[in-house]
Amino acid sequence: MNAMPAATRPRQPTPAETTRWLVQLRWLAVAGQVVALMVSGIALELRLPWAPLLTILFITSFTNHFIANASRPVVPIIADTILLTVMLYFTGGADNPFVCFYLLFVALAAMMTSPRGLTGVVVLCAAGFLFISLRAIPFSGPPEMVKDGHLTAQVHRIGSALALGTTAGFIALFVHRLHVALVRRESALVDAERRAAHTERFEGLATLSAGIAHELGTPLGTIAIVSKDLERALERVAADPATLEDARLIRSEVDRCTAILGRLDRETTQGTGAAFVEVRTGQVGDLLLDRLTAGIAARVQFRDLAGDRKLDLTLDPVLQSLVVLVENACEADPSGRPVEVEIEVAGGEVVFRVIDHGKGMTEAQRRRAGEPYFTTKSHAGTGLGLFLVRTLTQRLGGSVELHPRANGGTCAVLILPVLLSTSPSGS
């Protein structure tokens, strides 16, 4: 398979987007630090150096406004590691249960930065832990909470449980966020590959069909001229009626082959690069009738269920798709009964319904409908018409569905995204 077109590749999160995720975690960390300080200073009555601790919280909050658009996520991680080291220095050093927060920064660096950045964060965390192990301000507080500058065993166990739970919660939150982004990216990648393969298949068929039409066009044109001359010559000499009828049959079949090749070329090479056009829903019916032959147009009953809404629509491929669906509906019901075409706007989508009163399709036929060269027509069918419709609608972000009708026949539903006007169409 060829490389995926750039326009269909799923966009990966940029470093700036990843950094903004980190900013959200930093705000949660600030909230957690505030709660931890309140519990330590008020509930446990520990004597804390409030000035430097509140300064660290202010720096974290203040810098959050500047690092949201940073191109390198490792920068805020390094900054937070340094701020954590300073905070631990003022709150017991390595004896502080929240020293396990170093592991949080290592985990974030492993998921968000390059190997070089990860190495730098690991070294910085190790250096910070070594520093607070050698030099730190010991705890100070009531004897039941602090003994010889260290937290009592019971308080330390409670603090360790809280610190471990907080660290695990932060890591789980961020890993889950990245996992969801990864799943969405993989889903977008699969969808983009499917669309690219479908487009490549369509382009191959279009090239093949155009080549066939070109190669057979000249000999069929020659046969048509010769058969016409032959028919006239037989008429002049009053040839046997059976022989004259055979000549006419030859010319008729040549015309039929020429028409098939023309439709084959037209169905696979037009309508793939149209722009949005402002149009009212009521005008779509008139534009559609202009593209149909007189016999088919006479059978179409168009209903505007949208109330003559104004919208921006990729008009050419939409009309081309509707022409195919209407022609298929007429061929599915040779009795000459009307073919109903409805247009409706729902939310940000425009819905077309083409309804016929033929004998309908079997479930197996509906599943295969839209496959190249699969057709339910008894003659003159290539199966490329509905394939073209599906291809065009997928390129436009829409879909086409075939539904059976209770009283017989088929309802073809064409759904496309649309830009709607906020003002009434008559204004």
Beta-carbon-side half-sphere exposure of residue 110 (alpha carbons within 13 Å): 10
Say what the pLDDT of residue 373 is. 54
Residue 391 has pLDDT above 50, yes or no: yes
pLDDT of residue 180: 83
Identify the residue whose tokens are 């406004």.
65
Strands (E), 207-338: 276-280, 300-304, 310-314
CA angle 41, 42, 46 (to 5 degrees): 35
In the Cβ-directed half-sphere of 370, how many Cα atoms lie within 13 Å?
15
Give 204 or 253, the one with higher predicted confidence: 253
pLDDT digits (tens, 9 = 90+) for 321-355: 888 889 888 888 888 889 999 999 887 788 999 99
Q: CA 132 to CA 138: how far, in whole Å?
A: 10
Higher pLDDT residue, 52 or 218? 52
Regarding pTM above 0.85, the answer is no
Measured CA to CA, the distance from residue 251 to residue 235 in angstroms comes to: 14
Residue 306: is its pLDDT beyond 60?
Answer: yes
DSSP per-residue letters across 336-370:
---EEEEEEEETTEEEEEEE--S----HHHHHHTT
Q: The domain 276-420 is classified under which CATH number: 3.90.280.10, 3.40.50.300, 3.40.50.2000, 3.30.565.10?
A: 3.30.565.10
CB 114 within 8 A of CB 140: no
CA–CA distance, 105 with 75 (Å, rounded to integer): 12
- Residue 7, token pair as written in the block: 């326009």
Which of 240-244, 254-258, 285-289, 310-314 tops mean pLDDT? 285-289
Alpha carbon distance 26, 32 (integer Å): 10
CA distance linking residue 275 with residue 295, whole number of Å: 30
Read off the pLDDT of residues 220-262 as tens digits, 9 standing for 90 and up.
777 878 878 787 887 777 767 788 787 778 877 777 777 766 6
- Minimum mean pLDDT range among 90-99, 164-173, 201-210: 201-210
87 is written with which tokens? 């905070």
Residue with the bigger pLDDT between 172 and 371: it is 172
Residue 294 has pLDDT above 60, yes or no: yes
The pLDDT value given to residue 167: 83
Residue with tokens 């832990």: 129
Question: Is 103 or 9 the better-scoring residue by pLDDT?
Answer: 103
What pLDDT was estimated at residue 125? 92
How far apart, in whole angstroms, are the C-alpha atoms of residue 311 and residue 314?
10
For residue 12, is pLDDT > 60?
no
Average pLDDT over residues 365-369: 70
Report the C-alpha gap between 166 and 151 in whole angstroms. Answer: 19
Query: What's residue 425's pLDDT?
Result: 43
- pLDDT value at residue 147: 85
Taking 90 as the threshold, does the pLDDT of residue 98 lie above it? Answer: no
pLDDT score for 123: 94
Mean pLDDT on 88-112: 86
Question: Residue 302 above 90 pLDDT?
Answer: yes
Does residue 24 sit in helix, strand or coil?
helix
pLDDT in tens, 154-188: 888 888 888 888 888 888 887 887 788 788 888 87
Residue type, 36: A
Q: What is the pLDDT of residue 353?
A: 93
Q: What is the pLDDT of residue 10?
A: 41
Q: Which of 32-46, 50-64, 112-126, 144-158 has the lowest mean pLDDT?
A: 32-46
Chain-centroid distance, C-alpha 206: 25
